[in-house]
Amino acid sequence: MDVLSDAIAAMRTGRPHSSRTVKHAPWGVRFPASDGAGFHVVLQGSAWLLPPEGAEPVRLGPGDVVFLAHGYGHGLADRPGTPLEDALLQPDGSWPTLRHRGPVHGDDTLMLCGAYRLDKARAHPLLTDLPPFIHLPARVGVTDRLRSAVDLLGAELSDPQPGSDAVVPALLDTLLLYLLRTWWLAERPEGPTGWAAALNDPAVNTALHAIHEAPARPWTVEELGARAGLSRAAFARRFTALVGQPPLAYLTWWRMTTAGTLLRKTDDPLRAVAERTGYASEFAFAKAFKREYGVAPGQYRKQGGAAARTA
């Protein structure tokens, strides 16, 4: 798996949720803060995003996509001054589904909204590096694959067919990856920064792929630098500047993140988890894991693994 896919797979818990709804003006909805991430897509009509942290309202037109990676509370309305009502969510955090057919009239707005459950306790810096919200305006050619995912998801929610219960979560996962890919690989006047720069840098990206592909391998900075086509010193400087931590520190962090994922999502014995994350013995693995997480691997599995697998 590539770095982006790995990061999402490590953080994702439970099933994503989505709904397709029509709003009749005047309307305003307040979404509470949550532990996950969410998105809104305007399919027809228009809306205003009332962002978190007091940022200026953002007008959304047909085809515009907004992604909120950090679960901040926010609002949506037909106009910035419209009073907001609290969103009426289901007990599992999803929105009631309204199967709307036909055109939207007048000041009505047709929207596609969704949410993902993420493990914020072990957030990958690739996600924590994101701004409070991402606005992806509808532009021909730039986000064709994202548009296609939105269209397919909207069609499944509007007119469910046999297999929709499996198709919708898969499309939501696909949409999330397209959202993030579109943002990180977008051309910016100031050039890529942070993890966008790391993913766009051939040398650093090569090293990241190597680490994610074989976290158990006893990598050295010199070997990773050779993979990246740089000297040891030059590679270490570039990796640290773009990723935010030295190569071997990131390797250790990713090993422990991978271990936590395996403990939550599989029943693999501790010895197998230790081997897959580069530790020669259960004892060495358990010591490193407790130092990182504050609890022993077995206790972590009992506390979080069962809940994560049944969410």
Question: What's the confidence (pLDDT) of residue 120?
Answer: 76
Question: Buried b / exposed e across 209-241, counting CB within 10 Å, b at 16+?
Answer: ebbbeebeeebebebbbebbebeeeebbebbee
Question: In this predicted structure, which of 15-19, 71-75, 122-126, 137-141 has the lowest mean pLDDT?
Answer: 137-141
CATH code at position 301: 1.10.10.60
The residue range of the domain holding 119 is: 3-184
The SS3 of residue 281 is: coil
Amino acid at 96: P
Domain boundary among 153, 184, 215: 184
Q: Does 205 lie in the same domain as 140?
A: no
Q: By mean pLDDT, which of 29-43, 48-62, 242-256, 297-311 is the weakest?
A: 297-311
Provide the number of structural domains found in the chain. Answer: 2
Same domain, 156 and 285: no
Closest by CA to 1, choosing from 177, 144, 242, is 177
How does DSSP assign 41-82, residue by residue? EEEES-EEEE-GGGPPPEEE-TT-EEEETT---EEEESSTTS
Distance, in Å, from the CA atom of 252 to the CA atom of 277, rounded to the nearest integer, reads: 9
Q: Determine the average pLDDT of the residues in 205-226.
A: 96
Calpha distance 65→179 (Å, rounded): 9
Q: Is residue 205 part of a domain?
A: yes
Q: What is the CA radius of gyration of the chain?
A: 21
Residue 73 has pLDDT above 80, yes or no: yes
Cβ atoms of 47 and 96 closer than 8 Å: no
* 210 occurs within a structural domain: yes
Same domain, 115 and 219: no
Q: What is the pLDDT of residues 168-178, one digit of tens each?
A: 889 988 999 88
Residue 61 lies in a domain: yes
The predicted structure's pLDDT at residue 307: 38
Of the two residues 191 and 45, the one the predictor is more confident about is 45
42, 94: one domain: yes
Mean of the per-residue pLDDT values of the chain: 85
Residues 19, 111, single domain; the answer is yes
Residues 217 and 150 in one domain: no
- DSSP SS3 for 86: strand
Residue 218 predicted with pLDDT over 60: yes
Residues 30 and 178 reside in one and the same domain: yes
> Which token pair is 242?
């773009």
- pLDDT attached to residue 98: 47
Residue 183 is encoded by which pair of tokens?
A: 């943002």
Model confidence pTM above 0.75: yes
- The mean per-residue pLDDT over the stretch 23-37 comes to 88
Last residue of a domain, one of 138, 153, 184: 184
| pLDDT above 70 for 308 | no
pLDDT band (50, 70, 90) for residue 243: very high
Tokens of 275: 């081997």
**Could you tell me which residue, 150 or 121, shows the higher pLDDT?**
150
In contact, 275 and 216? CB cutoff 8 Å:
yes
List all residues 6 or more positions away from 232 whose beta carbon is below 8 Å from its beta carbon.
221, 222, 225
> Is the domain of 45 the same as that of 175?
yes
* Whether 288 and 177 share a structural domain: no
What CATH number should be reported for the domain holding residue 21? 2.60.120.280
Q: Are residues 209 and 156 in the same domain?
A: no
Digit-coded pLDDT (tens) for 81-127: 999 998 876 655 555 554 444 555 567 899 999 888 887 777 888 88
Per-residue pLDDT tens over the stretch 252-297: 999 999 999 999 889 999 999 999 999 999 999 999 999 999 999 9
Q: Which residues contact 141 (CB under 8 A, 6 or more apart)?
A: none
Q: Pick the closest to residue 195 from 138, 128, 267 (CA basis).
A: 128
On the question of pLDDT at 192 being above 80, the answer is no
Whether 192 is covered by a domain: the verdict is no
In this model, does residue 46 exceed pLDDT 60? yes
Domain membership of residue 136 (yes or no) is yes
